[in-house]
Amino acid sequence: MFFMLQVFVNHCYNIPNRLLQVKAIDEKVGNTMAIPREGETIQIHSYKHNGRIHRVWQETMVLKGTKNIFIGANERTLVTESDGRTWLTREPSICYFHAEHWFNIICMLREDGVYYYCNMSSPFVFDNNAIKYIDYDLDVKVFPDMSYTLLDEDEYELHKKEMGYPEVIDKILKRNVNKLISWIKQKRGPFAPDFIEVWTNRYSFHKEMQSNEKI
C-alpha cells in the first residue's frame, strides 16, 4: 500500500510522517521489504504526493531484483491512468529503479535509437507484487545522442504548492536532478554503452524460456 512506501521514504530520509499524509490506511509494515524474483511478472504503480494513484503499468518482467535495484522489461503493456483511461506502450522498454536515488529511468528501444524518459521520484518499494513509487512531476528526456531536456517544471511548481511538498523533498529532488544529469554526461548506469545490450539479451532469454515452457 501507499503507506508502506511512505514509511520507507520517511525512514531513509528522516522525513516526518506528518509531511507525507495519506487517507485512511491502517496497517503494519514489516521490517523486511520483499524482493521481486527474476523472470516473474509484476506491476508498476506510480502515486502522487497526496497518496492518489497516478499510473499503473500492468505487466513488467523482472530481469534483476535486489533490495536496492530493480531492472525490468515490458512491451505493449497496458497502462491505466488515474482517470481510468488506458493505452498500450508502443516499444520494448527497459526500466531501472533504485532504492537510494530519487529518480527512475525508462529506456525506450526505438528504430532510430534508445530514448530515455527519467522520472524524478521517490525511491521504490516492492509490495504486493508491484514496484511502487511517488512521482514528483519533473522529467528528463534523453535522446540517443545523449542530449537532454528538463520537462514539466511548471507542473512541479504547481503541485509543490497544491500538495505541500516539504522543503526537504524539494532540496532532495533538485540534488537528484543534478545527479541524474551527471550520470547522463558520464554515461553511467542505464546510460552506459553496454546496459541496453546486456538487459535486452536477458529479456530475450526469459521470453524464450517462457515460450519453451508453453510447448
**Rounded distance between C-alpha atoms, residue 104 and residue 106, angstroms:** 7
C-alpha cell at 41: 511478472
Three-state SS string over 109-142 comes to EECCEEEEEEEEECCCEEECCEEEEEEEEEEEEE
Residues catalogued as catalytic: 55
E strand or H helix at 181, and its extent? Answer: helix 167-186
C-alpha cell at 82: 488515474
Burial 21-55 (b: 16+ CB within 10 A, else e): ebeeeeeebeeeeeebeeeebbbbbbbbbbbeebe
Q: Which 3 state secondary structure label does DSSP give 175?
A: helix
Pair 99, 123: CB distance under 8 Å = yes
